[in-house]
Structure 1
Amino acid sequence: MRWIWIALLLVLPGCATVAAPGTGALSADGPQDTSRTIRIMGADFPYTDATVAAFEQQHPDIKVEYVKGAISFEQGSVQTLLRSGSGPDLLLVNSGPGRVGMLAKAGLIWPLDEVFATNGLAGRFQPEVVKQTKASTGKIYEIVEGLDVFQVYYNKKIFAAHGIDVPRDWQGFLGTCQKLKDAGVKPLLAGARDNFAGGWLLGALVQASAGRQKMSQIINGSGSFADPDVVRGGQMLSDLIAKGCLDGGQAAALDGGQAQAAFWKGGGAMTVVPQGSMADARHDGIDVSQYGAFPMPPVDAGQEALPTAGLALSWVVNKSTKSRSAVVEWLRWLASPEYLKLTAAKGRTLVPAQVVPPGTVLDPAVQDGLEKVAKGTGFNPSVYLPDAAKEAWYQAVQGLLTRRTTPEHAMQGVQDKMGAGR
């Protein structure tokens, strides 16, 4: 299943010297532009080979060496690659201040404002996406490959078999869990050992408790994770465990891929995942017609139920690249309507960050995610927190799942790191 991230330390062939500080932004006529080969490291999408082939056909003077593999910030392999002096020219990495922002502040990647300005790229991306990429540093350091939208996915057959309707509020959600538990069905599955899916679940609960406006203020630094409404989101996770809706110990022991595999095999009634999980299941031949999705129901009456969302993966440029003009051409390709249409036709599972051209046919789950983004979503905190606060967020998830901490202590820990990071 997608996004089972592993630590990977790989030194690619060739060597490059680290560019001297102050050599300017990435541009086609910048210094050290001596190679027409682009060395890329990134995930192996269903469309990767097709996009590389199409690019090389359009640019016969540029050769692309694409090494496929997921890269883990948490294990330090991205930073090691970029500091090695012999890393790839471009990397496809997890988005957000806790990842890309960290690389930018360390001076390991190039700012792309000049590339955006001189090539008119900003107009090809959703304005909110461009705004979010500049939020932590004031500059653009990434080209977003796509977004994730997180909802509660549920098994329609299981719901129908037990006479259960989609819950509209939090008490209804708890009631749904109780009915399923009484019937001998696991109500909710999660796999948080690798942190990602645990962050998705807690993020959905915090959104259902605090709402979009308050979460926006917190993400932007004018609010606090210690706010009672956010703490209540942590308490909601504790309540799910206490009421038997979720096996916290099992969730802490399983990784995201294992939990998703169990869900698609009918091992539980609900799980919180992004649209890509459904799209991947469809591509894997699973009959997904029996599954649906709904945002985590809100706690307060009158509050709108919103899914959470966040930038998923982004392309960044190694500051020591010797292939600047060729890299610019690749970035232009990533932002082109042709690239988006090709990826959509070849199995795109991420919600596009680009403005979608008319006539582009997306996977139904991806299309649903795109429509949710257009209407407005909450925030997946895992993406928007600075590095130290992101780690505290994951620690909060693990502590709550295993009952080693209280919601108050967990959220205060995130806020403490949030304040220190700013």
Structure 2
Amino acid sequence: MRSTLGALLLAVTTVVTLPGCATVAAPGTGSLNAGGPQDTFRSLRIMGSDFPYTDATVAAFEQQHPDIDVEYVKGAVSFEEGSVQTLLRSGSGPDLLLVNSGPGRVGLLADAGLIWPLDEVFATNGLADRFQPEVVRQTRAGNDDRVYEIVEGLDVFQVYYNKKIFAAHGLDVPKDWDAFLDTCGKLKDAGVKPLLAGARDNFAGGWLLGSLVQASAGRDLMSDILAGSASFADPAVVTGGRMLAELIERGCVDGGQAAALDGGQAQAAFWRGGGAMTVVPQGSMADARQDGVDVSAYGAFPMPPRDAEAEALPTAGLALSWVVNKSTKSRSAVVEWLRWLASPEYLELTAAEGRTLVPAQVVPAGLKLDPAVQDGLDKVAKGTGFNPSVYLPDAAKEAWYQAVQGLLTRRLSPERAMQAVQDELAASR
């Protein structure tokens, strides 16, 4: 196994600047399971994140398949920056890539004919039964009811809080929005930063705004919006934007600082005790635990709803997914890797070696997960709201991120911010 991210990206950049590069087949044509002259290679080039379990899972796969040589290139590729598209269009990119999930990203790759549909692989290998039904349903949404991704895991977003800070100031976990504002006010008056946020790289800002919109609009309305039967301009969604503006006005969130920091910086400050609360996925706590942070002093709760009678639900979304390059010449080897990803053995190994994503697979009884990951899995089983960043098409997702930035810096009103998201969403349909 080799890790050659820089070399691969340089090679691909060189390839795609030349005229007459590889053409891309139409989406949905041919068969990934097919053999023949395009299936003579027993090697795999894979590009994906460097998880704590990456080396162990690759080694286990190679042990099970000694005739397949795996080159695993460690490094994240960004749909937003265009590196995923560049790799796939080059004709010399990896056979498989681990990318951000969801129809707003994977769906566009499918529409462009850059990745293989996986329905036949799912059907002939019984993979669908190994994944949570809701995960399979979501991967089909917006893709003509076809599957183009194998989900590595999910993220569940909650308010994480410092129990010691809460105890020192006599605070309980707030159950509704008014109580949340009251908690923030007491912390601010005591000289404690109530809620840390970092939105410069957009992702964490989307988590925060998504949690607030869920606390205002609820799961059902957000489901209708994403399905196209309701609007981001709905007053309940606009109120979610007003809730962020209210947090800024009351000093519960430093909007200027949040716009200047990225998500990783804000998370690091939180785990060092630099603030009382933050909105992050379960992986943040799991990573902190692996880094030696004493996370016993921290807990989590869903963003409290604006309606005191409503149920508090965290938001969630597909996190990362494996996709197959349409140009691969190692089809049978690719199928073996996909089968490995869906196997109980893969899930058990990742759990034992430091898994931080909530499993997308059906989890067998007795499997030991990191406590934060297990909490996320329990929340998914009970029902969660939606992280809009995952489910919006590209232009609408960018408008969503711009809404976050505009609200943090007070350049946009909640009404204008949400209308802009809806305009882009409508234009994409």
Shared fold (TM-score greater than 0.5)? yes
Judge conservation of contact 2:12–2:86 (CA < 8 Å) in 1. Answer: no
2:329 is the alignment partner of 1:322: yes
Partner Cα distance (2:152, 2:37) in 1: 27
1:85 corresponds to which of 88, 91, 99? 91
Closer, same or farther: CA 30–368 of 1 in aligned 2, 3 Å: farther
Aligned to 1:182: 189
Cα distance in 2 between the residues matched to 1:401 and 1:73: 24
Q: SS of the residue aligned with 2:161? A: strand
1:58-69 aligned within 5 A: 58-69=64-75
Partner of 1:5: none
SS at match of 1:179: helix
Decide whether the 8 Å contact of 1:10 with 1:81 is kept in 2: no
Matched, 1:152 2:152: no
1:367 aligns with 2:374: yes
Match of 1:110 in 2: 116
Deviation at 1:10, TM superposition (A): 4.9
* Cα distance in structure 1, aligned partners of 2:14 and 2:89: 14
For the structure 1 residues 17 and 30, does the alpha-carbon distance in structure 2 shift closer, same or farther, using more than 3 Å as the test?
farther
* Superimposed CA distance per residue, residues 34-67 of structure 1 (whole angstroms, 9 cap, x where no aligned partner): 2111100010000000000000000111111000
Give the deviation of 1:359 after TM superposition: 2.1
Alpha-carbon RMSD across the aligned residues, in angstroms, is 1.7
Residue in structure 2 matching 1:355, options 346, 349, 362: 362
CA distance, structure 2, for counterparts of residue 351 and residue 365 of structure 1: 9
Q: Does 1:236 align with 2:250?
A: no
SS at structure 2 position matched to 1:332: helix
Tell me, yes or no, if the aligned pair for 2:24 and 2:89 is still in contact at 8 Å. no
Percent of matched pairs sharing the same residue: 83
Write the deviation string for residues 198-253 of structure 1: whole angstroms up to 9, x where unpaired: 00000000000000111111111111000000000000000000000000000000
Q: Distance in 2 between matches of 1:19 and 1:403?
A: 44
Task: Summarize the Cα distance change of 1:217–1:10 in structure 2 as closer, same or farther, 3 Å threshold.
Answer: farther
CA–CA separation in structure 2 for the residues paired with 1:172 and 1:62: 58
Name the residue aligned to 2:101: 95
How far 1:300 moved relative to its partner? 1.0
Shift of 1:153: 0.1
The answer for unaligned runs of 5 or more in structure 1 is: 1-7
1:247-306 Cα distance to aligned partner (Å, 9 max, x none): 000000000000000000000000000000000000000000000000000001311000
Aligned-partner Cα distance in 1 for 2:336–2:183:
52
Q: Which residue of 1 aligns with 2:210?
A: 203
Distance 1:355 1:374 in 2: 11
What is the alpha-carbon distance in structure 1 between the residues aligned to residue 22 and residue 351 of structure 2?
37
How far is the alpha carbon of 1:360 from its aligned partner?
1.1
Query: What's 1:245 paired with?
Result: 252
* Deviation beyond 4 Å, 4+ runs, structure 1: 12-20
Q: SS of the residue aligned with 2:424?
A: helix
Q: Pick closer, same or farther for the CA change 1:162–1:346 going to 2, 3 Å.
A: same
* Alignment-mate amino acid for residue 247 of structure 2: L
Count of residues paired in the alignment: 416
Residue 13 to residue 299, structure 1, CA distance change in 2 (3 Å): closer
Counterpart for residue 62 of structure 2: 56
Per the alignment, residue 227 of structure 1 pairs with 234
Q: Offset of 1:358 from its aligned partner?
A: 2.1
Q: What is aligned with 2:136? A: 130
Q: Is 354-363 or 172-181 further displaced after alignment? A: 354-363
Of the three residues 266, 281, 286, the one matched with 1:274 is: 281
Instruction: Measure how far apart 1:98 and its partner are.
Output: 1.3
Tell me which residue corresponds to 2:76: 70
TM-score, structure 1 length as denominator? 0.96
Q: CA deviation at 1:27?
A: 1.0
1:60-100 CA-partner distances (Å, limit 9, x unpaired): 11111000001111111110111111100000000011111
1:12 Cα deviation from its structure 2 partner? 6.2
Distance in 1 between residues matched to 2:233 and 2:265, nearest whole Å: 32
Measured in 1, the distance between the counterparts of 2:323 and 2:419 equals 32
Write out per-residue CA displacement over residues 357-412 of structure 1, whole angstroms, 9 at most, x where no aligned residue.
22211000000000000000000000000111100000000000000000000000
- The aligned runs of 1:266-415 (5 Å cut-off) are 266-415=273-422
Distance 1:353 1:31, change over 3 A: farther
- Return the offset for 1:102: 1.0
Q: How does the TM-score come out when normalised to structure 2? A: 0.95
Distance 1:37 1:283, change over 3 A: same
Structure 2 counterpart of 1:321, one-letter code: T
For the structure 1 residues 146 and 23, does the alpha-carbon distance in structure 2 shift closer, same or farther, using more than 3 Å as the test? same
Amino acid at match of 1:65: E
Distance 2:29 2:237 in 1: 44
Q: Distance in 1 between matches of 2:177 and 2:213?
A: 12
Aligned in 2, Cα 1:110/1:267: closer, same or farther, shift over 3 Å? same
Opposite residue 375 of structure 1, the aligned amino acid is K
The letter of the residue matching 1:325 is: S
Cα pair distance change 1:206/1:20, threshold 3 Å: closer
* Alpha-carbon spacing, 1:17–1:325, altered in 2? closer, same or farther (3 Å): farther
Name 1:25's counterpart in structure 2: 31
Does the 8 A contact of 2:25 with 2:113 survive in 1? no
| CA–CA distance in structure 2, aligned partners of residues 303 and 9 of structure 1 | 49
The 2-side partners of 1:67 and 1:102 are apart by 23
Measured in 2, the distance between the counterparts of 1:44 and 1:222 equals 39
Q: Deviations over 1:84-138 (max 9, x none)?
A: 1110000000001111111111110000000001100000000000000000112
- Are 2:32 and 2:118, in contact at CA under 8 Å, matched by a contact in 1? yes
Deviation at 1:25, TM superposition (A): 2.9
